[in-house]
Structure 1
């Protein structure tokens, strides 16, 4: 017959109360106050207190494992195995990853699943009905949070830290109340009696002591419904609601993520050459009035000159024409670096809010080609602020668009771009003569361009940079590490923040899940940066310098930015225009007073009409002014 299981083995995470029950009341009071402080710290600063979180989880696992190993669920071999696992995992957390977030999310997720399974075991092993109900509810909640933790790695520490914080705070309050009442009462016996009561705030399955044979009915254990039973039922309801709410939120966040359909899967054998149309299809998003939008898949080359595949939108006027049309190559701004962030997957990418002066360009009879770049939509490595990768996939989009049935393009192309797209546009015009000699670039327009990634990285790494820009930095660091073998992510991201940074690179700003990354970034960077020092040192710094758009340009330039740009510092724009003017490039530049980073391209800004006039002159062959780098807008 199996030995009765002590009441203290009611929950792996709650073995600690059994050890403190025999302590003096004053010690329990002090421990309780300290525990409340740690719990509140974990709740209010869940990520900046990750070291305390790791220590708490690790030590709790070790203590629980030691107790389980000693008692071993009535002598069963699997009880000792479970206890040994908890000891090993706890020591690994404390010794190996106590200061790191890299492995802690997965470890905590696994511990939650293990805790959930053992709680289910407690629920079926006996005890009062309310104890079993609470154990089952707590087991289900831990399994739910464990699954969500594996699904959302960068949210694991944030969510689980708060869970452990609440649990720690409640446990601390319990100890404080018990210790305080015993101290003020001055009766150790009162404290011991109260400590023996069931803890309504800790789910578990205390088994009733064995009843000797022949015990009179009057002496049998009482089975009446007690306040402790009511507390367990209430807590079970709270636990189930919390777990259900967390699952519902996870489902809603997942539903908001873009879905990459089979159109973007390239064939097994790619044709030779770049700019070859693989397929085209109808675009399911909104289309401008009087225009047709199709998405295309085509061959290109990556930053290393290796074969790649990319996608794009081709927006052409419905009006019939018997002559080829000029093309505008639109390079979009930052939308993320994951496949699902491709503009061709979004509903509003072919509107005037996404492409400046789109309606006017179509009315003028121009075809607008809007590439996603390689690695967005189509599989591959996304060349975020990597000039050759961006430029090649952009230029090949125009070459491939000319192969779409019903689209007939002239050799002349004007290149436009915003932010990251401004960087891509400048690089495309730099290499067009060699890479796509069949295209005649008549001019390049860069709106709030990220001209110099090296200088931009220097600005982003300053102590006063907004925490929200850490997501932008993550996209740069991860993309460069994926593209260049000499750039090691471990040299630029703090060991404890790598899981968060990698998850940031898999989210798009337009999806609800981006809020999770933002919360994690803000939480960590409140006290310390996600990144190690200056991002411009070593291999990453050299690669960033290589990707600056420096020219020379044989075509006129159009540059515009806003005085309130929160992403690209205005002094970088001013330096770029000054250098281009000094080199003899005809530059038309606009400084839009009161505009932020995106404001220069949306309807209502003076930039789109000026861009249309400037581009029309380029297609018409009107010579661009060189002297003075003409300034035709309000000064800041």
Structure 2
């Protein structure tokens, strides 16, 4: 313990104003880290590295504490000296390798908080400590362990948690050091005589640490509660979605079905279904979906075959699993569909519900899932579906709807499409992905896209296209659904880890990723009439980006009714009060009635 005594003696020999400056520096640095936890990764690494070293120095000097038993001794407790060495070593390591990844930097500090917390709790049982010092040490140690565990549980947003907690710890320790230096509770030098052990310090000096420890524990418990709420809300995939041993080779066959009641409108019957379809390679696969029909009537219902908007790319993000199975995918008018006497068939797509990778924004398997859901629903007892079919799709589903129209005649000739309604479709994929950095929350969709393409295409890698500091966050985003609270927290981290909000390190329109995006632009070979709806105020899928898609369709001779709704954004375009909705129902009813369409390509604004 000679080293510990020398360190403590050296620090106590410094003038009080020097010790106050050291404490004040800790306060300022901690405040900077707390206020700017989402600063650029390289800058944050330097701040935390310096903070770790400063923490080690303060730890060797007593960690801001002045236990009466320690005041009367030149000894530095072994645990405190050990943590001082650990903190300083970690700080030197972070400064020496400022290019650490998010995960590495967060683990360095997170593990340090846990170790320090455990040692602090153990030290609370020392017989030489006063009652208030024991309580403070136990509470502060417990808070440190909680914060450390939270950091390790949140691998993507852990840097924010660690930065805020670590910065707050620096502030507390720094303030206590400033207090002791100013009030003279610590000896000015090693020559000073120790205060009498029977003279209790002032009440504030005795209980300041305990009060700070209680507050720290309260914050830790609050952070734990917030963490639990953020981690909650993720659906659980049940056995319904597991494929049986004997799966039919033929696509579009119903495997199983069961009644479904969640958010189903009055006057309707619903089922969730599991059925066969085809993946990108042409192999047999299994997908799930929902079927809703009117409860009363003679049957022979015309079918709205729905392709939902983005819900996520993880298995648990199937609309049939979500708390709001229809609105989560931007279907806001299901009651009106049922009132019209129409049936509703909605695929979850591959990989949402069923255990395979979801082909997000990848056209062929999305279209086959839409078509095969329609074919499988026809086998459902009690559904009594008719022959008429119109495909609707919004956003991701709008692109899938266009792909469905292009592939239907060849892939499922028995499903005669009467029309395709593509609403704000994700069709011009290179332009869409290139535009995402300019969109609030666009990084979510960018993360979904690059993760899915990298998982499905061998020539696309996240390492090549994603910024190094954001790769962990991208993977975490891909493991959550769009509706989960934790997704927003991940985006906050993602935006803060770079000096600009861009997710990608490379231009997404170039290289293998760009080529794959281009090949998933829907073909112009659609024989059914197309209603192409677009919001003029859509900031995610902008109207101008649709022009190449429209030009290609019209040049190929497709019948396209292009309608722009000037004041409507991306999701408001399909909400129940949108002027699109009555027009969509009128257009669909005309298709079910077999009415002829007008000119090949028309444009109108509303």
Say whether the fold is shared (TM-score over 0.5).
Answer: yes
Cα pair distance change 1:278/1:83, threshold 3 Å: farther
Q: Which of 39, 52, 58 matches 1:48?
A: 39
Aligned to 1:419: 395
The answer to whether the Cα contact below 8 Å between 2:311 and 2:328 also exists between their aligned partners in 1 is: no
Counterpart of 1:232 in 2: which secondary structure?
helix
The answer to whether the aligner puts 1:240 opposite 2:217 as a matched pair is yes
Tell me, in whole angstroms, the C-alpha distance in 2 between the residues paired with 1:110 and 1:161: 13
Matches within 5 A, 1:254-273: 254-273=231-250
Aligned to 1:557: 530
Aligned to 2:146: 144
Cα pair distance change 1:450/1:527, threshold 3 Å: closer
Q: Give, in angstroms, the shift of residue 471 of structure 1.
A: 1.5
Q: Deviations over 1:72-95 (max 9, x none)?
A: xx9999999988876775555444
Tell me, in whole angstroms, the C-alpha distance in 2 between the residues paired with 1:573 and 1:588: 13
The answer to whether the aligner puts 1:312 opposite 2:285 as a matched pair is no
Aligned to 1:200: none
Q: Which of 436, 447, 454 matches 1:474?
A: 447
Aligned to 1:332: 308
Aligned to 2:507: 534
Aligned to 1:118: 119
Cα pair distance change 1:119/1:580, threshold 3 Å: same
Tell me, in whole angstroms, the C-alpha distance in 2 between the residues paired with 1:571 and 1:117: 59
Aligned to 1:440: 416
Structure 1 unmatched ranges of 5 or more: 9-14, 183-189, 197-208, 210-217
Tell me, in whole angstroms, the C-alpha distance in 1 between the residues paired with 2:288 and 2:57: 57
Tell me, in whole angstroms, the C-alpha distance in 2 between the residues paired with 1:504 and 1:19: 49
Structure 1 length normalisation: TM-score? 0.83
Tell me, in whole angstroms, the C-alpha distance in 1 between the residues paired with 2:332 and 2:413: 27
Counterpart of 1:102 in 2: which secondary structure?
helix
Tell me, in whole angstroms, the C-alpha distance in 2 between the residues paired with 1:438 and 1:597: 33
Name the Cα RMSD after superposition. Answer: 3.6
The answer to whether the Cα contact below 8 Å between 1:326 and 1:366 also exists between their aligned partners in 2 is: yes
Counterpart of 1:289 in 2: which secondary structure?
coil
The answer to whether the aligner puts 1:395 opposite 2:367 as a matched pair is no
Aligned to 1:606: 579
Aligned to 1:276: 253
Q: Deviations over 1:473-514 (max 9, x none)?
A: 111111111111211111122111212222222222322223
Counterpart of 1:459 in 2: which secondary structure?
helix
Q: Give, in angstroms, the shift of residue 633 of structure 1.
A: 4.5
Q: Which of 473, 476, 484 matches 1:511?
A: 484
Q: Give, in angstroms, the shift of residue 314 of structure 1.
A: 0.2
Counterpart of 2:572 in 1: which secondary structure?
coil
Structure 2 unmatched ranges of 5 or more: 63-74
Structure 2 length normalisation: TM-score? 0.87
Tell me, in whole angstroms, the C-alpha distance in 2 between the residues paired with 1:110 and 1:386: 41
The answer to whether the aligner puts 1:345 opposite 2:321 as a matched pair is yes
The answer to whether the Cα contact below 8 Å between 1:326 and 1:409 also exists between their aligned partners in 2 is: yes
Number of aligned residues: 591
Tell me, in whole angstroms, the C-alpha distance in 2 between the residues paired with 1:569 and 1:519: 24
Cα pair distance change 1:51/1:145, threshold 3 Å: same
The answer to whether the Cα contact below 8 Å between 1:353 and 1:602 also exists between their aligned partners in 2 is: no
The answer to whether the Cα contact below 8 Å between 2:364 and 2:403 also exists between their aligned partners in 1 is: yes
Tell me, in whole angstroms, the C-alpha distance in 1 between the residues paired with 2:98 and 2:284: 40
Tell me, in whole angstroms, the C-alpha distance in 2 between the residues paired with 1:75 and 1:7: 6
Q: Give, in angstroms, the shift of residue 595 of structure 1.
A: 0.7
Aligned to 2:171: 169
The answer to whether the Cα contact below 8 Å between 1:62 and 1:91 also exists between their aligned partners in 2 is: yes
Tell me, in whole angstroms, the C-alpha distance in 1 between the residues paired with 2:432 and 2:528: 25
Cα pair distance change 1:85/1:310, threshold 3 Å: farther
Tell me, in whole angstroms, the C-alpha distance in 1 between the residues paired with 2:56 and 2:312: 43
Q: Give, in angstroms, the shift of residue 427 of structure 1.
A: 0.9
